[in-house]
Amino acid sequence: MRDQGLIYGGLAIFLGFITFPVSYNLVAGKTSKGPELKLPVAEKQCVAPVDYMKGSHMKLLMDWRENLVRKNIRTYTAFDGRSYTISLSGTCLGKCHSSKADFCDRCHSYVGIQTPYCMDCHIDPKLIQRSGE
């Protein structure tokens, strides 16, 4: 038991080291709160439940894309029976999420996801408004 001090000291240093990110944020006053997203004002309900959209919006968008381009299906019937025109620029951004920067980008950059290239082709309606001004 002669190495007791060394062992416990080492353990304390190790614990301090691996919990550094947590303690650092505590000291700096940062919390693990997610990004603050700007939610649509006019609409209260998305085309799918919020939980599903959080985890699987990319799957829904892929399905929309597949339906519209390849199957010529232009409307989407939501879980609550409402129907929507399938359009990223027209419906998602045009009707509800008017600010891509405050919604899509804010979350994507928070979780460190490389910005998807949807908007390389699909037009942010905001872009037109700005250029038209």
90 touches another protein (CB under 8 A): yes
Per-residue x/- mask for another protein, residues 56 to 85, rule CB under 8 A? ---------x---xxxxxxx----------
- Determine the residue type at 129: Q
**DSSP code per residue over 63-97:** HHHIIIIIH---EEE-TTS-EEE--IIIIIIIII-
Residues 6+ positions from 21 with CB-CB distance below 8 Å: none
Find the binding residues for another protein in span 100-129 (CB under 8 A): 117, 120-123, 125, 127-128
Q: Is 83 helix (H, G, I), strand (E, B) or coil?
A: strand
Indicate the residue among 2 and 71 with the shorter CB distance to another protein. Answer: 71
Site for another protein (CB under 8 A): how many residues?
A: 19
131 touches another protein (CB under 8 A): yes
Indicate the residue among 1 and 121 with the shorter CB distance to another protein. Answer: 121
Asked whether the beta carbons of 48 and 60 are under 8 A apart, the reply is yes
Interatomic CA distance for residues 121 and 112, integer angstroms: 22
Question: Residue numbers of the site for another protein (CB under 8 A)?
Answer: 65, 69-75, 89-90, 117, 120-123, 125, 127-128, 131
